[in-house]
Structure 1
């Protein structure tokens, strides 16, 4: 039940294109390295449709695709790391600029060549070398993967990945069906997964039924949906599987239909209108069973006006799993069962932070950081996504700073204030 790799590549290319101009990236001085990464990724993405088709029967191609997937996941982590470090430096800029505001020396704090305060330019040097080295390593790996691709004689798509349906802006980017094991904590999510999977496979009526996972942004709806999507019972019970990241920024309904058609093995040809694409979708789905995830739905009409009719008319069995923040959206879509996701209890929130930060399971380090870590976790308010972002910061902080408990807590709580605005924008 692998994710749709070419779709993921398109989203990654789009995300790289968007973040390159962010202030958080500019202050680190890694724009050129990220542009190089984007160009390499865009070149490789042109062969992924053919690679995905061939990997089913060719183990060598499958291995090549898996290696590329690993690099793409690392590239996502690099983007997050750049944004986190850059945001932290920009916060420091604001603090130091305010301190100097009443002094004539404030005029000297700008560096004409980079248009950022001198403080951030100096502070960014160690981060820049560290991150630039990571990006260079990724580019080297991509270069090797690109060399290896030549022996497979892939069909190269004539269409630029940036023109394709699945390129979205940074705000609408979401993870697909891949799920790191370290994201799973507590028994509740396992129990919910098992319960929902049984509901999905036990109802044998030859009809289309829709289920919903509801909760506030960042609370773990997508994680639960990923566990369900990757469950072996779901894999065995349905012939076709598709994961569509919708989001409130998905403006082209024809693009969404094209992505669904590709996900279930169809081709769009020259079709451009909704009616033409719905006809193609009907032909691909006819007489087959389908498990469909619509992730991060804001508008019920995506299902009602676009997908529902073709799916109900043609599939022998269809189960749709929707994630949304609004009960009303789930009800309007016709959900027969709605599962509400609650915030993580404090102990499980701490467990998630430990899994993300202390990858070597150093018990003495975990205990030493527990008091500070618990205070940080409390500020994350039980939101797994917030905890993961903060974990990314913790990993990069200097060991000497971590050993100074009071200073470290001050720095981390300050960064949390910076992130709270971002959390509110993306998760409410």
Structure 2
């Protein structure tokens, strides 16, 4: 099959250059500026014409071609252009306000200390470096020519778990073993062993969710272990799974005491998923903590390693067999990518059977090959897959082939996902936001009116349809969804991005200095801070720093300081769950910064006012900063913000009327907040408004009723809020509303007219209304309910029983009643 082509120079870089040149960056001696930009534009255009890189091109084929040097040099260009754009914006603002004389302004602009001179100097260095590479290697060496394959649109299927075929008997067998009390120790261990991708985790999840199992065991606990058998980490995960309690600051002794309190005397089921440990001493230490469970407690261990069973098991190892040929074929046909080919390609069935047989009954391989077959329309393509020599017990060659069938934009997005730790629960809105910030969302010509967030969700659904994502689950009543990556799929993403992305653990060795994206996954930071400082001191061009594990953050400002000092091209600085008291003023030197997160820092007292100069910032996340006394001054200068989360001790939010780009506004845990925002705010692009835990908030501003682009409105746990305040103003502004959630509003008795009228005007878009834990809610008038026939779901939870649920209501956790039952 033909390989797709990618330009080494991203289109966004050329577009940004063209934009700067169009702004007439000349300005007195600006001829130097303009000339340098034109020369850079010409050099990049030459490279783009010469270098077309085939996806999947091996390192051996490109070695010595200068391709890697070009990629590294081009990577620094966007941040330099960002700095130049900021300087231009600053100059224009200064000229508008007539600050200083023209003579002084020109002098300041071109003084040696001015940032513009430094930026142009760096641009000149990059341009000369690129020209030298091209001159040394020449066009023929750099040129790669391949025929671009015809692209075909994927049919989007609904988000959901993949079909499971052929494991019913295995499920019955495992449940029988677990329900048998036995005559030995209180706690027994059942290992499930099988090849990677054969379905061990899926089978364990089927058993874990079984109703009989849920009734039989008093506690059910699930822990993902992987290759790091850390007792401390496993105990923390067990406590969190059992109680929802995070124990990040407890010592090992305290953790053990807490775990014993949870388990002792109770019959529990513990799933230890994906265990690699063969160190019997480590297992015995953990096992000793679990022996106090009630009689009949069981531990299920899933593992690829047959040697793990004898070390950990007390029940004979259950070896999971591959699927038989007929069930493999059934699974293959159920793949969303194959359904569309059914009937159109009946002449390919013989090839299909031969290919599926070569999968050896491994469900993951069967599903992934559905992706490849979707892209292959001719017999020659199918026979090429059959005879390609891609089959191995480790599966990565098969997964790589599936990756090769992806469109080029999805390849980049998938490889980016290697930044998340294995088995992470990834949220769709978080991932789409990161893709946007890294310029990985590429709207097609017919999508110019589509929101980038919507396109990002389409990418996620397509990767899910192609089995790169699994365990897809709706969250927050449809506000977003979550998913995970299979270990082998994650391994593939890591292999594709190993030069740029790395997940730092304290045992990591031989990490490339060319890293551009860095995430920290270890939980125990005590004694490792200097180690991390030394490591960061060896890197030069990091653009993304993430702390993706809940509860894991920085305890020292020194690490944040070195990140800011060293990595001036940084786009993402995620310091979630950190516990330092101040952010340095030098944060304003990160001119390319697109995302800054300080979420759940319960010690930080203030932010530097200069943070408002970060005009390229698209996401500022301050949710959970419970000690933040006030927000920075001039916050409205951040005109490019798309995502803003706020926690503050202030009584009123600052003016936000200039936030024309804002898509998400979250106001969370503002204990003193009385006034949400003023009446002038229009938020012409706002799509999600989330208000939570604001106990002194009495009413909402009337301007909220004019949010014509709002799709999700969620109001949660505001004890004194009265939605009926000023209810005479019936403005049908919320005509794009898709989801309305109202939770824990004790004063709510009925929905106000402005919401009902908005619901009526949004009848074609509104998918769900959720009223939860509102003890005084009387329901909706019958004349209103009859207009809700077109709604997919109208849900009430923990509200008084009434006929308010309407004909389309549905039962939830036995607390709901449909209209016919009420």
Structure 1 position 375 matched with structure 2 position 349: no
Tell me the number of residue pairs that the alignment of Structure 1 and Structure 2 aligns: 289
Of structures 1 and 2, the larger Rg is shown by: 2
Distance 1:190 1:29 in 2: 51
Which residue of the partner structure matches residue 223 of structure 1?
202
- Say if 2:407 is the partner of 1:407: no
Comparing 226-235 and 296-305, the one that deviates more: 296-305
RMSD: 4.8
Q: Which residue of 2 aligns with 1:210?
A: 189
Aligned in 2, Cα 1:108/1:322: closer, same or farther, shift over 3 Å?
closer
1:217 Cα deviation after fit: 2.4
Give the aligned partner of residue 262 of structure 1. 240
How far off is 1:406 after superposition?
A: 1.4
Contact 1:311 1:318 in 2 (8 A): no
Cα offset for 1:291? 0.9
Compute the displacement of 1:349 (Å): 1.6
Correspondences of 1:28-427 after superposition (within 5 Å): 90-91=55-56, 93-94=57-58, 112=70, 123=148, 180=161, 182=163, 184-186=164-166, 189-203=167-181, 207-248=186-227, 250=228, 252-265=230-243, 267-269=245-247, 271-300=249-278, 301=280, 304-315=283-294, 317-357=296-336, 360=339, 363-365=342-344, 367-395=346-374, 397=375, 401-402=376-377, 404-410=378-384, 414=388, 416=390, 420-422=395-397, 426=488
Tell me, yes or no, if the aligned pair for 1:201 and 1:233 is still in contact at 8 Å. Answer: no
- Mapped to 2, the partners of 1:343 and 1:29 lie a distance apart of 45
* CA shift in 2, pair 1:275/1:412, >3 Å: farther
Q: 2:292 aligns to what SS in structure 1?
A: helix
Task: Give ranges in structure 1 of 5+ residues lacking alignment.
Answer: 1-23, 33-87, 142-178
Alpha-carbon contact 1:193-1:224 (below 8 Å) kept:
yes
- 8 Å Cα contact 2:165/2:327 also seen in 1: yes
* Aligned-residue offset at 1:289: 2.2
CA contact (8 A) 1:28 1:124 kept: no
Aligned residue for 1:322, secondary structure, equals strand
In 2, Cα distance between equivalents of 1:95 and 1:303: 40
Q: Could you tell me whether the CA contact under 8 Å between 1:215 and 1:221 is conserved in 2?
A: yes
- Whole-angstrom CA distance in 1 between matches of 2:59 and 2:267: 58
Q: Distance between the aligned counterparts of 1:365 and 1:283, measured in 2?
A: 61
1:3-41, Cα deviation, whole Å (9 max, x unpaired): xxxxxxxxxxxxxxxxxxxxx9x98999x9xxxxxxxxx
CA displacement at 1:407 relative to structure 2: 3.0
**What is the TM-score with the length of structure 1 in the denominator?**
0.54
Please name the residue that 2:26 is paired with: none
Inter-partner Cα distance in structure 1 for 2:215 and 2:292: 23
Contact kept? 2:391, 2:397, Cα under 8 Å: no
Distance 1:215 1:336, change over 3 A: same
What are the ranges of 5 or more consecutive residues in structure 2 without an aligned counterpart? 13-52, 76-140, 400-486, 492-822
1:95/1:292 CA distance change after superposition, 3 Å? closer
Residue 368 (structure 1) shift: 3.4
| Maintained 8 Å contact 1:294/1:323 | yes
Q: Deviations over 1:266-323 (max 9, x none)?
A: 6354644433211111112233221111112121548733432222124454111111
Contact 2:351 2:383 in 1 (8 A): yes
Change (3 A) 1:196 1:369: same
Q: Is the 8 A contact 2:263 2:290 kept in 1?
A: yes
More helix by share: 1
Q: Distance in 2 between matches of 1:28 and 1:215?
A: 41
Q: Secondary structure at the match of 2:55?
A: helix
